[in-house]
Amino acid sequence: MVQPVYLDYNGTTPHDPEVITAMQPFLETEFGNPSSSHWYGIRPKRAVETARRQVAGLLGCQPDEVFFTSGGTESNNHAIKGMARALREKGRHLITSTVEHPAVLDVCRYLVQEGFETTFVDADETGMIRVDDVAAAIRPDTILISVMHANNEVGTIQPISKIAGIARQQGICIHTDAAQSLGKIVVDVQSMNVDMLSVAGHKLYAPKGVGALYVRKGLLPEKFCHGAGQEMGWRAGTENVMAVVGLGKACEMAERSLDYAGRHLKAMRDRLHTGLADGLADMNLNGHHEYRLPNTLSLSFKGLEANRILEEIGLDVAASAGAACHSDTVTLSHVLEAMRVPVEWAKGTVRFSTGRMTTADQIDRAVTVVVSAVRRLRGLTAVR
């Protein structure tokens, strides 16, 4: 059986062969605890520190500004809860956007229980956050702004450096969720001017269940997990050495191949978009046409339901209806609602996302399958 064409790289990525090779010794022979002082702990400890340098190299920061987590969700939780609690005597007002991942939105909503208040800044019809709207939301008691680097559903890239500039002028901490942008576009914490940045390994051809958080030197978020003091005391618990090594290798690979990867992702995405546009009418692109991740293609098919499209193409093409982290039922995503996409379009939205392994032949096969499925569904709808 020929496997379906995989076009859900924003949902998760396969393990890169180089990543698997790097992790192999820590699955088979190098089982030691990196905190152990004896011989068996030496190589695991060195491997964790090498991975820390590799992550820092991709982010443009110092290794001691990076600590490892269980993934992007934990990183977001640690950044937002940790800094909010650390700064609560200064103020209790947070700012985020209406198009954030639930791992940010739900954290901000949870903090209401602890006396914090969040302003949710609206996006425009392209999913972009207006810098002036963020500035207007700032109050004397604002302590933290969290805006994602790039949207996971439609790919819109936010003006983080400009938002961070305003935050800096006001002495406000700035965090960004960069889970989707890492390895696709330049992610440099110095040029972005952010204080904290979240990383998710499984969006980067590394394993699931590992991530990282960059914290600018001098900031002291409240500890996320108390215990024996691993990860410079910020996040206790024995490190998942194998996964950490995989994340480090993935970041090293992303740094050295970023230009090529970006060109390839965009070429495959645009080939898919052109092919579908040539074969179908009543199809709209969601997200910013220019400031968008090179691999992300969110399309709305008027009058159809995304779950029906995915059922029709499921044996041949793997894609996603809205955000892959949600349930498999089609509901109007909060991102499309925030962008004010009309219901008759929004309910038929499918997200395709290309990856390093995507080939032109796979794209051409996907075009044929999707065009046929949509035409078939529209024929059935017309009959009804």
Domains of the chain: 5-13+257-383 (3.90.1150.10), 17-254 (3.40.640.10)
Q: How far apart are CA 101 and CA 193, in angstroms?
A: 21
The 10s digit of each residue's pLDDT in 263-288 is: 999 999 999 999 999 999 999 999 99
* Mean pLDDT of the region 37-55: 97
pLDDT attached to residue 325: 38
pLDDT attached to residue 323: 39
Q: Which of 61, 108, 251, 325 is catalytic?
A: 325
Lowest mean pLDDT across 101-110, 291-300, 315-324: 315-324
Q: For residue 126, what are the contacts with CB-CB under 8 A and spacing of at least 6?
A: 156, 287, 288, 289, 339
Q: How far apart are CA 349 and CA 304, in angstroms?
A: 9
Residue 96 pairs in a beta bridge with 120, 146
The 10s digit of each residue's pLDDT in 75-109 is: 999 999 999 999 999 999 999 999 999 999 999 99
Asked if the model's pLDDT at residue 382 lies above 70, the reply is no
pLDDT attached to residue 326: 45
Contact yes or no for 337/366 (Cβ under 8 A): no
* Mean pLDDT of the region 153-170: 97
Asked if the model's pLDDT at residue 384 lies above 50, the reply is no
The 10s digit of each residue's pLDDT in 52-78 is: 999 999 999 999 999 999 999 999 999
Q: How far apart are CA 142 and CA 171, in angstroms?
A: 9
Question: 173 catalytic, yes or no?
Answer: no
Q: How far apart are CA 88 and CA 81, in angstroms?
A: 10
Q: How far apart are CA 92 and CA 295, in angstroms?
A: 37
